[in-house]
Structure 1
């Protein structure tokens, strides 16, 4: 009851409170813009911050100061620390006093009441210790946004600046606070962030299943996040019929390259319809360079809507297919150059770089990422590339495989089509914005975007940072005959 304070933080009046919660977290409530959630700790208590108001006079002084961008971060930090200290002290005092009063009422003896107050103090100390032990300073770089604050990732900037250029991030944070002040005070809008020229932004979508809402989502994300290219990991159609081919014409209206691999609900006719779009890049067992990224794609071997044909969906078959493509990708010694790239205008251009054999000899992966539909096929590329994108299962997840290859499985950007209504809760619309370094072509971070399904009005964005973007990819050991023809030796090349 006493764990609540109101304190001035820069130009804002911030309410702070501690609430019981098994998930921990720190929640910043900026009404009516939305909330930011940080996995700051895992103790049994949540820190909630709310923007209660803006001090117009302080905001005006800051705006008029020529050094506001330098002084505001330090001011905010000092005010937050002071407010947290007051909050913790007040919570501890109220807990001890409450324990004493509860003991006095229950036991009607002041000595026993002293023991209950001591128990309350120990409980406060235990909660504080657990929260401090599980404190995660990286959480500030991986917030979850709701409401209008979903535009914050594009306001803050590239993921690299959050970690490697923290001073710039602090300045952006200061600008964000000032802009919120102006929004409350004068009703102005937040400025659009200018993307880092060394960041390539890729939108990963999958399993659209003929849902027209997916195109609205894709167009909105393309504009908001300044997307350079889209990667679609299949099931754009539902039955693969000729009548569905008009649905893919929206691809040609996006104005950015659209890389596509066939899903098990897409027919060869669907694939040809996508290929006819001027900005489409269809991959089915080949490498193409798009916006500087070397992408290898594998179409799904199955076509499940045709019930008259027996479809082999055995996991071992899919794994074997994936391994065959992975071996083809990493062991091509024919000297053949990869397929030519296709620009956003549909013109072919020579693929920069060496042949697959030369890339392998230089210790580099032949492709920067692989796009497949089924994650079972994708896992077979373990050790072949740094990143594999997949879909199919309508549930978003990611895993770091043993070699250092990351597999990102996208949910359904089309909310699973009509299948999304088969459950008690509608399937959400999901997509991800991937941030690549234009020089190294390595993934730096990604934003998972989730929108409520049919009949729901909510949106959430979760930012993730790649812990080791430049990690070495270690392919699975390759057995080779020994010089004596007896036992085998193991050769394990490395890739950067």
Structure 2
């Protein structure tokens, strides 16, 4: 009988049953592992769901591989979607349970019958004669008992009123224990805006009083630098910054999502938040913004938001955005959520070289952005470089490391390896880059704060960096250079210098498409 039970369980493992509700699909199989007895175990990338049942007898465990149907995106895109709308109804669950019983029962019966037949066949070969009626009867009885006892144990155990414990692990466990905090992230972000206004007003007053006169020159463009949103709907805060600081454009350095799924952004309203800003939202993809090397779903979704500017909308095209005369360019992170996380700097080299080849014969950009530090390293033809990824502010020469605007998003606020997994809140940050009429960076103001998700905002630091103190490479703007050479005292001829540029807030914004250079031609330019 035990052999028949093993054969039945093996059949459900080799040929799992598929059951469906309107929005979900699951593959079910049985387990004879002692750890899974009388429990339903559903592993996901967000953590595991475990339902323990207290039945009168032990029953085989059920392993469920749950999937979300693509059609759920239509529901998530609707206004005011509720969690209840995403949950299967009683009739759906009842029909799914019936389908599961019939499907798994049939597979179990066939698998256990096959084992019984093999045992009888093996016995006949060993005895070298046809099996007797008694042997067939014993085999048939074992098969019936295996199917009957297993079926009864499953039916008696997996009843709603016998659910003994509901346990989750990983991110799901953190969400379950802190649901009341996570449900109001956007609300708390809105409630925090008065505090942020006060901080910005204080910063402006201090700058007016203590900054050098050179920093008060006419402004051509004010750029808000943000990074690593990670699914945090704190766009009410960003909208406040845009309004209070007269921001001309927002530059997002990537990792808008956590797990590369566009449904994350639709569920919490990220795309609506971006659209509400009212200024160009410049974006390069980060390593959490795709689920495979060729996954472009986030870029395609962002392209539908009217104010979004994708600096690399696809592999064949770049976009250069000009804001008040200031030229901004950049490229996507080739990595994705779930890659092997090895040799990350080396993975950036092909993307960086392709960008350099495409912009080699163009006027030098004023700001080049990408997600990871290794991406912007060794880009010579740029006045300023910026990256995110590290979740912390940094300044190395002309390379600006931008911190995470949301403290890494809601999920990063959980302490790993602790019993309570209480919210802790890592620092959030943003930078405001101001460019003057000479198209140079006038000032970089860096803000750091914390505890927005917890509802008790605290502001840690405001730093003002004089743009003239930032080390810059020599201009290599060959496309805009005047052809007049300059003779030195030794009689040699110096390289032509770029023609002076003037930037102005009256220039507005414009976009120019830059085609990528074919790979063989790009290798030739290197």
Q: TM-score, normalised by structure 1?
A: 0.48
Specify the structure having the higher radius of gyration (Cα): 2
TM-score by length of 2: 0.46
